[in-house]
């Protein structure tokens, strides 16, 4: 059996004396979309930073398609969109996309560029402007378009829909569903439980660095005898 796209097992992380992750485990399989949820400060971004090897884990293991995440070859299979995506201010949107594709060894105009831009309604005229003139939502759309274009099998996004207007949010959700149809594994954090319920096959609820629940959104509602995922989420901490 092939290994999952991502497996975190018993991950612990402390910053100085404060432990922010205690024995956190999760898995994301190919074609699966997993939502990582939790209140502010629960440890979501810290877990993603561990996956990306931006910080060293104190205990536990992380594997990407069965390879230790500390190996650069393992992380080559992963695309990450940070919460505050900040492309170099002096580039135009088009230059940024060309630059990113070149960094990933992709052709300057691979099939799908037009589709990715159109799917997020980033128009050609906007792409010719420097990104410092972009609104927050436009910058986020540029990040998402670039993220979609590099076509990695494991997609990790930190609060990708924050700053998007309702229409852009709907376009973003379509884009995420498209990733699943292409068999890619998706892990994203969000505070929007409606989006999470709509998009995710499974959710992982973190609280104080502990995994409080891991399973399908409907199992979460059933376990906490709740009418909505939001209610179930709140009962996870009682």
Ligand X SMILES: Nc1ncnc2c1ncn2[C@@H]1O[C@H](COP(=O)(O)OP(=O)(O)OP(=O)(O)O)[C@@H](O)[C@H]1O
Site mask for ligand X (CB under 6 A), range 105-134, x = bound: ------------------------------
- The neighbouring-strand residues paired with 18 are 15
Q: In this complex, which beta carbon is closest to ligand X, that of residue 208 or of residue 215?
A: 208
Query: How far apart are CB 117 and ligand X at their closest, in Å?
Result: 28
Helix (H, G, I), strand (E, B) or coil at 87: coil
Query: How far apart are CB 185 and ligand X at their closest, in Å?
Result: 20
Q: Which of 5, 6, 20, 97 binds ligand X (CB under 6 A)?
A: 20
Q: In this complex, which beta carbon is closest to ligand X, that of residue 153 or of residue 163?
A: 163
Query: How far apart are CB 39 and ligand X at their closest, in Å?
Result: 7
Helix (H, G, I), strand (E, B) or coil at 194: helix
Query: How far apart are CB 156 and ligand X at their closest, in Å?
Result: 13
Query: How far apart are CB 87 and ligand X at their closest, in Å?
Result: 21
Maximum distance among all alpha carbons in the chain? 52
Closest C-alpha among 29, 56, 24 to residue 211: 24
Q: Spell out the residues 6+ positions from residue 3 whose beta carbon is closer than 8 angstroms to its own.
A: 63, 65, 66
Q: In this complex, which beta carbon is closest to ligand X, that of residue 51 or of residue 126?
A: 51
Q: In this complex, which beta carbon is closest to ligand X, that of residue 61 or of residue 192?
A: 192
Q: In this complex, which beta carbon is closest to ligand X, that of residue 42 or of residue 149?
A: 42
Q: What DSSP string runs through 166-190?
A: HHHHHHHHHHHHHHHHTT-EEEEE-
Q: In this complex, which beta carbon is closest to ligand X, that of residue 178 or of residue 208?
A: 208
- The neighbouring-strand residues paired with 11 are 24
Stretch (H or E) spanning 101 = helix 93-103
Q: How many of the chain's residues bind ligand X (CB under 6 A)?
A: 10
Q: Spell out the residues 6+ positions from residue 52 whose beta carbon is closer than 8 angstroms to its own.
A: 69, 75, 78, 80, 156
Strand order in the sheet with 18-28: 18-28, 6-15, 59-64, 67-68
Query: How far apart are CB 80 and ligand X at their closest, in Å?
Result: 14
192 interacts with ligand X by CB under 6 A: no
Q: In this complex, which beta carbon is closest to ligand X, that of residue 13 or of residue 184?
A: 13
Query: How far apart are CB 36 and ligand X at their closest, in Å?
Result: 8
C-alpha 56/C-alpha 30 separation (Å) is 25
* Ranges within 36-55 binding ligand X (CB under 6 A): 38, 40-46
Interface residues toward ligand X, by CB under 6 A = 15, 20, 38, 40-46
């Amino acid at each position: 059996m092939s290994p999952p796209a991502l497996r975190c097992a018993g991950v612990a992380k402390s910053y100085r004396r404060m432990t922010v992750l205690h024995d956190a485990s999760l898995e994301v399989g190919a074609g699966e979309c997993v939502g990582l949820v939790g209140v502010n400060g629960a440890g979501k971004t810290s877990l993603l930073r561990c996956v990306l090897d931006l910080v060293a884990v104190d205990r536990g293991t992380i594997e990407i398609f069965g390879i230790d995440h500390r190996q650069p070859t393992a992380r080559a299979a992963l695309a990450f969109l940070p919460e505050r995506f900040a492309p170099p201010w002096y580039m135009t949107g088009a230059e940024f996309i060309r630059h990113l594709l070149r960094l990933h060894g992709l052709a300057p105009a691979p099939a799908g560029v037009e589709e990715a831009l159109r799917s997020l309604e980033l128009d050609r005229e906007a792409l010719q402007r420097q990104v410092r003139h972009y609104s927050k939502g436009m910058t986020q759309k540029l990040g998402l378009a670039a993220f979609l274009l590099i076509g990695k099998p494991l997609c990790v996004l930190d609060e990708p829909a924050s700053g998007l207007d309702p229409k852009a949010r709907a376009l973003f959700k379509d884009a995420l569903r498209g990733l699943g149809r292409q068999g890619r594994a998706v892990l994203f954090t969000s505070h929007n439980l409606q989006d999470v319920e709509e998009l995710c096959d499974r959710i992982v609820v973190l609280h104080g660095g502990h995994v409080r629940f891991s399973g399908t959104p409907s199992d979460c509602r059933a376990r906490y005898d709740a009418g909505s995922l939001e209610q179930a989420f709140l009962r996870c901490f009682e």
